[in-house]
Amino acid sequence: MGAAEKLPQLHSEAEAAEYLGVTELTLYRWRKRGLIACIMVGKSPRYTDQHITDYLKARECQASNSDPTPLNGARAPRTGSGHGSTTEGSSNALLLAHQILKKRREDSQSGS
């Protein structure tokens, strides 16, 4: 077995970002915050399958039967809000989105 056969495959930042479904800028930010490990080859970050797997495992959520889901009509759990927004603003946005979707469903059903 040669030395090259023992080495892990190295993925570029573009390849790793595409696999994770994020932009290269987002992956760069995660790397700078220490959220995902990499190997620096010169000035270029490279990611192994293990780096990507470790990142995903660290962010894995456990399913819970007590969590409400939007499918049963219950309100989805709050995931946070951006800078300067309020809980009230988030709730109003959610209610508005539900009203818009409900109206679209009603319109599509009445047009059939």
Averaged pLDDT for residues 37-48: 96
| Cα separation, 68 vs 93, whole angstroms | 19
Find the domain containing 27 and state its range.
9-58
| Cα separation, 30 vs 79, whole angstroms | 19
Q: Considering only CA atoms, which of 58, 31, 9, 33 is closest in space to residue 23? A: 31
Confidence of residue 3 (pLDDT cuts 50, 70, 90): low
Could you give the number of structural domains in the chain?
A: 1
- Establish if 13 belongs to a structural domain: yes
- Establish if 24 belongs to a structural domain: yes
- Establish if 30 belongs to a structural domain: yes
pLDDT of residue 76: 59
| Cα separation, 33 vs 27, whole angstroms | 10
Higher pLDDT: 8 or 97? It is: 8
Confidence of residue 80 (pLDDT cuts 50, 70, 90): low
Sole residue written with tokens 């010169």 = 42
Averaged pLDDT for residues 65-77: 59
Confidence of residue 41 (pLDDT cuts 50, 70, 90): very high
